[in-house]
Amino acid sequence: MSAASLPIIDIGPLVAGTGGAAEAEVARQIDEACREHGFFYVVGHGVPDELQARLDRHAREFFALPEAQKAEIAMTRGGRAWRGWFPVGGELTSGRPDRKEGIYFGAELGPDHPKVVEGVVLHGANLFPEQPAELGPTVLEYLEALTDVGHALVRGVSLALGHGADGFRDTLTSDPLTLFRIFHYPPDPAPDEWGVGEHTDYGLLTLLLQDDHGGLQVRSGDAWIDAPPVAGSFVCNLGDMLERLTGGRYRSTAHRVLNTSGAERLSFPFFFDPGWDAVIDDAGTTYGEYVSSKVARVFPDLHSEVGGDAQT
């Protein structure tokens, strides 16, 4: 199927905070997409094309480096912050190695931040390469821009669910956990090997920037539909946490990646999740407790080395 199989939603009114009927209409479209697909394209987001192109360019420069040079920012050097580079096959999906390499980033936190002092996982400083030197500043600029888009989308979701424009932000995302990955899929000579196997995301919302090479597929009933690149858009999908918070009204949809283009492929997933201390159920479970239990499944060897207590 074509890209038209998934809705394309202009979130400009949410980004601008116009309120009124314009925001209500966007919220209606988001509600429909979340119930029917769990996936949709986002346009009108306001993230400059120049920033996206610069991020793509510097990422390609990094992945073209010799492996020994990339390993200077290996994840094992990132400690409990869970940042840095991993090689092809170094990340697992559903217990199987992926055919991709990548870099993990997150909000830049100094050594005096309370959660860094406490040694809480997924909090700390990023590992940026010396070359290209421009990658680090570009990533931080992109993180700031995508965080704004995440807040706008959560505003729409909150309106769609009848919680008011700021309902979710007040209770869940006033201080969101933001994580960012850059994935590089090498040209794959084995078409039956998945770049990333079938899975769902475990958080709230994912915003994906794709390059010009397709490969993303979304489960739709008993079939799979392609979600190819659409100029000027991000792909937005829901995670398990949003399905859980809505009692199943919204769908966390399975998806997978197969790089069939014959060329290298880059993808840039950004994860916008509840704050670490946000309470997610009546039992008082925090999002931090929930998400830390997921970490070991992706990098079990690294978790055993630096992860420590899965609840902190």
Residue 225 has pLDDT above 60, yes or no: yes
> CA-based angle 116:106:54, to the nearest 5?
145
DSSP 114-154: HHHHHT-TT-B-----SSSTTHHHHHHHHHHHHHHHHHHHH
Provide CB contacts within 8 A for 168, sequence distance 6+. Answer: 154, 155, 157, 158, 161
Helix (H/G/I), strand (E/B), else coil: 106: strand
pLDDT single digits (tens) 137-178: 999 999 999 999 999 999 999 999 999 988 898 899 999 999
Provide CB contacts within 8 A for 30, sequence distance 6+. Answer: 9, 40, 153, 156, 157, 160
pLDDT single digits (tens) 64-88: 999 999 999 999 898 889 899 998 8
Provide CB contacts within 8 A for 231, sequence distance 6+. Answer: none
Helix axes 49-63, 135-160, angle to 10 degrees: 130
pLDDT single digits (tens) 27-50: 999 999 999 999 999 999 999 999
DSSP 172-196: IISS-EEEEEEEEE---S-TTS-SE
| pLDDT classification of 1: cutoffs 50, 70, 90 | very low
Residues of the chain with pLDDT > 70, as a percent, come to 85
Q: How much is the pLDDT for 5?
A: 81
Q: Enter the tokens of residue 124.
A: 């700390």
Residue 312 has pLDDT above 50, yes or no: no
Q: What is the DSSP letter of 66?
A: -
Q: How much is the pLDDT for 214?
A: 77
Residue 232 has pLDDT above 90, yes or no: yes
Q: How much is the pLDDT for 309?
A: 45
pLDDT single digits (tens) 6-34: 999 999 999 999 999 999 999 999 999 99
Mean pLDDT, all residues of the chain: 88
Q: How much is the pLDDT for 310?
A: 36
pLDDT single digits (tens) 114-124: 999 999 989 99
